[in-house]
Structure 1
Amino acid sequence: MHQTPVRTLLVWVPDWPIAALARERGSTLDAGAPIAIERAGGIVACSAAARASGVRRGQRRRDAQARCPGLRLVSSDEGRDNRGFLPVVDRIERLAPGVQIVRAGIGALRARGPSRYYGGESEAARVLLDELAAIDLTDARVGIADGPFTAEHAARRTRPGPGAEPATRVHAVEPGAAASFLAPLSIRTIDDAELVGLLARLGVQTLGDFAALAEDRVRERFSEHGVRLHRLARGLDARPVTARVPPPEHEREAQFEPPLELVDQVGFAVRITADDFVDALAARGLVCTELRVELRDDRGGRSERVWLHPTTFDAAAVVDRVRWQLEAAVDAELRSGITLVRLEPEAVDAASHHEPGLFGQGPGERVHHALSRVQALLGHRGVVTPAIGGGRWLAERQVLVPWGDRAAPARERSQPWPGSLPAPHPTTVFFPQPEMRVTSADGAAVTVDERGRLSAAPAAIAGTGIHRAVAGWAGPWGVREREWDPERRREAHRVQIVDDTQVAWLLVLEGDTWRAEGRYD
């Protein structure tokens, strides 16, 4: 016996990967720029500016770049998409609990409860859209129908304009009308490329055409998988809406009334809270890899710090971090007294298990303690670690990240950087770049002509304390940036040179000046 489809309310955020990228990058991302998310050489999402230039989901990367030469490509990241969508689901569940995450950017829930509480299905949808608009998701859509499949395509049927009323972002399909709503939709709506291709060759072009086939014939030809898709096309989506299980709450707070004045007092008082915090993680067999410490004073001041660690934190380490954070807060003139300390794990590795050796007993933990202590004395950027970012020039790729912070370079390493140096890269990168002289056998300066060729074969290089004969060379390779901008344009040429001591150099000629960009040690 077939089950009756459940009345479903589905929330859809168009081009969610773009929205997730914007929420992660914040002000560092130009929201008005043409941006596209790329996966396996194809476009999976694009911004409004990119769409206005002719970029479409499903295009090949080269086709998209041909339509929009200024298109910025960002690699797909499912982790980023999923992380960004969880706060959105939390926001929805404030008003209507029981959300099922269909995938990042799409959440479904049973329509019966919210419609009764808010006075109707459309009214409930508008309440949810207002809630999402409060967190800048003004383009969210809602579809209401019998079953998640029809509800999703109802949401995609909405076509609101800029600044449109919430009602235009809601599309409701009346009960029992799912089949007629789906009938004119393309057969490509079904997420099965092999079946869709076969049906198209058989002359089945719409869901209505597919629904008109006899179920027994579909079973004979396409097995039970085909029957399930056939029922979707007929509007008989009997899949239940299964609410997610909210993750356990790991936050801990310590409030002090009256406010405490001394760092040592706070550090001692918060130890019990830290012990309870760590014990709760250990009881679930979890390992904390990221910890947020938030401090508030009685004047409304707030100080926050995120600590990262490859394994976990023990209670003593948590208290030490609170102490160092308090010292930083005092240095920042939050001297009127701390009233609240919050310990919040931002990332928990559920695949790790609770083992005694993971709780701060190794040399790595002692190094972390020592460097964090130095950082507390010298300031946030007093201790930094190197990370690799994106760019065409080696100096641009060097990013220094404060100890304990997440490495998030403004320029993504995974993006295509035409003209960048391929691997292997020099092990020594000069900053600033020292000037060099490159001369031919007759002592004349070597240059690059308009056709990108060296004026003569390099015979010697010279710089501060360096006078070497050239044993071999390769290049030049031109690098051109921002040719459309007369003030910021840059044109240079790279040359690789091996001297007579078998040391390899990467030299750059810009204008009439040679500089050493790196050395292959």
Structure 2
Amino acid sequence: MIAPGRVRSGSRVLALWCLDWPAVAAAAVAQVPATGPVAVLAAGKVIACSAIARAEGVRRGLRRREAQARCPNLFIAQADPDRDARLFEPVVAAVDATVPGVEVLRPGLLVLGARGAARFFGSEELAAERLVDAVAAVGVEAQIGIADELSTAVIAARRGAIVPPGDGARYLAPLPIAELAVEPSLAAPERAALVDLLHRLGLRRIGNFAALTSIEVGSRFGADAVLAHRSARAVPERPPSARRPPPDLAVRYRCDPPIDRVDAAAFAGRMLATQLHTVLAAASVSCTRLSVFAETESGEQLSRIWRCAEPLTPEGTADRVRWQLDGWLTRRDGARPTAPITLLRLEPVEVVASGALQLGLWGGVGAQDERARRALIRVQGLLGGEAVRVGVLSGGRGPEERITMVALGDEPVPAADPALPWPGRMPQPAPAVILVNRPRVRLEAADGTPVQVTDRGLFTATPARLRWGSRDWQLAGWAGPWPVDEQWWAPESRTAAAGVAARAQAQLAGEPADVRVLLLIYYSETWRAEGLYD
């Protein structure tokens, strides 16, 4: 075991962090002035905001209405990873032109080896100054952190600190335990839950967590906690590297015709990602560091390295290829390629054994999920892109409207913004199963007369029974009706054509036990089953 603070020769890491990058990118696209407050939302909550917005009381995690109540002139933008990656490319290019060997962790954060930069510029402090100036030249503010280990350098970058060699554990010790989960590109999705548990157990500082032994952490918390514990102790991690990847795992694509459009680049990237993961699966390995290489018709060569906290999936690989090509092809500073792209190559820079994908007791990337994903991609290759579709949360009032089906691997863009208020939408929880064919059912009163909905949105009688084909249930309870009154002004809408429309919930009594609560919809004087609840 390597003791905390013992540094390997030449292992210093430099991290460059662009503050509030999603908000900066959104403001740049919308041409919001530098004095304007900006917030970026995902699923109706703030995930990033500018410093001016924070001065007005806006914080991450706030709902849209609360954020706007605190800052009425707040500019709201939706999360867009493609936009963030596209606008981050000039920053990466500026850093790479100053110090080669850049690795992108995510849009807004990159790392590189500090040893070469310090030797070239004379010291780590001078190297940090030159990199900040290089990024400022493209109109972006950045902070630098330098430390022995990557995670320590990223945490230090948020404070603009240079941690002396061998002093990583001492620097981290007084910091809040939440710092271990603040950077998603270095932590598993369950890291936030781990940090919350540690906080409730009384481990409020990173030093408190680092004081535990590795055996205590591994036996109690799980695999990701072991990684977090290593970060807390500042023990050696894998350093940034620009070494050439194993040639037998690389895949390439000769572009014919050459690619000069983002949509064509995205299609080629998705196809190449599928090929890469087929090769990786055959070798029983997974990729954690990926090099994206492109060559143009005029001989220009472009390359970037992406580092990931977890092994890449085909979708994650395709996303990074699309982001990178989009950034190259749409650069606004005049440094975009002068000719179309004729060659694409994906090279795994670092791989891990496929055993790293096995599902543990505390979650993680599961082998079953990975096998299912590969099978779906195989089906998609045999039957076409539209043969396999996945649901994306969308905006709407009814449960069917809140799901947008997109082809597997395509950009998960909803048909309507789910963050909008949508007054009159169905209350939570949503049905577990949506019945697309909407089979007819018969809702009856105790005397057998059919129950309908009046023009005033009321039941004509108290529901007591429900018939569905040959099945007959007594009702243990019911809720509703809730009128459905959408786009009544549009003759082509289903609501306008159906006349009175409403939804209701029916709780079934007795057997069979596989159906308990139904979501019903009423239109054209007929009740239909729209969904099933767990």
Q: State the TM bucket, normalised to the shorter chain.
A: 0.3 to 0.5
TM-score by length of 2: 0.46
Higher relative contact order (CA 8 A, sep 6+): 2
| TM-score, length of structure 1 as denominator length | 0.47
